[in-house]
Amino acid sequence: MIWPIGPYGTSIGLLLALTAPLYLLWTRKDSNRRLSLREIPSEIMNQRYYWHILLYAAMFVFKAFTDHHNEPLKELVGGYTHFIYAIEGNFVHGVQSIIKSEMIIQILSLHYLFAYLFIIWYPPVHHILSGDRDLADLSAMNYVFIYLLAVPFYLFFNVEVTSSYVPGVEALMYHDSWNIAFFTSNDPFDNGVPSLHIGLPISLLLIHRAHLKANGIEISKWRHRGLDRFIMANVAIYSFSILYLGIHWVTDILPGLLLAVICSKVCIHIQPLLRESGIKGSIRTLIDPRHIKAILFAIILGMLSISASINGPGTDSDHPDFRMEGDDVRLDTLEIHSLSTPTVVTVTNVGDVPVQILLVGRDFIEPLADRGFIDFESALVHGSSKTLEAGSEWSFEHLPENLLNVDVILMRSVGGSDEIAEVSILAVYPYSDMLLVSGILLCLPSFGLMGLFVGLVRSERRPVHSG
């Protein structure tokens, strides 16, 4: 797809362009409850929706800060892709083999990014403009909480995308001239577990059902039924596209569903507290003997899990990060963390097949990528290459010239061998020890939310004794 503003700009443009038409479509049977343009500013102030805006801005910064920790922490915690592969093997290769259609690939690729951003952005806007205060709160909280819950997995349980690890699976989404710059700048490619493309919308659907039950509303007569159906349709599409495009494993979906259950329940519990008592009052309410023990236990258990992951089984050098056969070309991004202190990179051939490694600027690769295929031969003239025999390694220091100078490592088996080649990459980034401390702190909200969920479940199951 050729479009000058790129995948992110296109998605944001579609999002803004479709917000008003879809809102008018989904509220056409209940137009008397729409806010007029004149009422919107006062509604935002009266209902304190400015907190939603600030929360989304804060999450943009928080996510960027979290992503900044991802690659440096891999030196200390390694990865667990081999563990997921042992569970499900080459299943996703069969999914990708079902059909090969350029039109389907383009549609699913655009949908993958657009629909996720739309489900983050649109539901709070829809409910604000419809005068539904509780659901406006809940849909905004849903995005924040589900991401907070996922942080420990993303930082301390790295799982590569299927198109980096399963032989024969093509990176239909990532290795494309239109997408490659955006994704190599924003996607670590090893945040497979959990899949929030499943977890986020499922959590929102669970919130909808709890809201309907609490208010005695039949779903067939619900005024937000159109939005709810849209979210369900996107879950169905994502269940196929995240596998087909060479991104997620089937196993990634299960933790996404678990986080959806936790997130929805915690949101439903906290939202009325925030409305009635504010932040301080909510904190006082949450620090309750019925919940505090579970929260403290979850934090302790989470910290022990992080301790076990540091220099743990994920760091075993015998486990590859990338696997390929035949004409497969794999890609890894070297992130920029310092312009003065170099990153020490070690590429090791941990398999039995010779591999060719190429260090090259991303700008040279961009025009050579097309729907899962990268022209390795044409890229050779633009970078530094080395052939690694079985058991050999290549170590070098990487120091970018500026913040825009993004380099990538390309890998392929020598001679297009049908045997599986395996490569491990260890990048020692500057200040990784300092980032370990802040990375652990970033996980504390997740452990607290998990503990609160356990406390809520225990409270519900505790028998009520009458006097």
Give span(s): CATH 2.60.120.680, the chain: 317-430
Q: Which residues of 81-92 are buried (b: 16+ CB within 10 A; e: fewer)?
A: bbebbeeeeeeb
pLDDT more than 90, % of the chain? 83
Strand-pairing partners, residue 374, are 369
Are residues 249 and 159 in contact, defined by beta-carbon separation less than 8 angstroms? yes
What is the pLDDT at residue 462? Answer: 67
Structure tokens at 445: 């909200």
d(CA 432, CA 439): 10
Per-residue 3-state assignment (H helix, E strand, C coil) for the chain: CCCCCHHHHHHHHHHHHHHHHHHHHHCHHHHHHCCCCCCHHHHHHHCCCHHHHHHHHHHHHHHHHHHHHHHHHHHHHCCCHHHHHHHHCCHHHHHHCCCCCHHHHHHHHHHHHHHHHHHHHHHHHHHHHCCCHHHHHHHHHHHHHHHHHHHHHHHHCCECCHHHHCCCCCCCCCCCCCCHHHHHHHCCCCECCCCHHHHHHHHHHHHHHHHHHHHCCCHHHCCCHHHHHHHHHHHHHHHHHHHHCCCCCHHHHHHHHHHHHHHHHHHHHHHHHHHHHHHHHHHHHHCCHHHHHHHHHHHHHHHHHHHHHCCCHHHCCCCCCEEECCCCCEEEEECCCCCCCCEEEEEEECCCCCEEEEEEEHHHHHHHEECCEECHHHHHHHCEEEEECCCCEEEEEECCCCCCCCEEEEEEEHHHCCCCEEEEEEEECCCHHHHHHHHHHHHHHHHHHHHHHHHHHHHHHCCCCCC
d(CA 362, CA 405): 8
- Its pTM surpasses 0.85: yes
Are residues 360 and 382 in contact, defined by beta-carbon separation less than 8 angstroms? yes
CATH number for the domain formed by residue range(s) 317-430: 2.60.120.680
Are residues 158 and 314 in contact, defined by beta-carbon separation less than 8 angstroms? yes
d(CA 383, CA 361): 7
Cis peptide before 194 (omega within 30 of 0): yes
pLDDT average per 10 residues of sequence, the chain (467 residues): 73 92 93 91 92 93 95 95 95 93 92 94 96 96 97 97 96 93 92 95 98 95 96 97 96 97 96 85 73 92 96 90 95 94 96 96 95 94 96 95 92 86 95 93 96 91 55
Are residues 167 and 90 in contact, defined by beta-carbon separation less than 8 angstroms? yes
What is the pLDDT at residue 257? Answer: 97
The pair phi, psi for residue 317, each rounded to 5°, is -70, -15
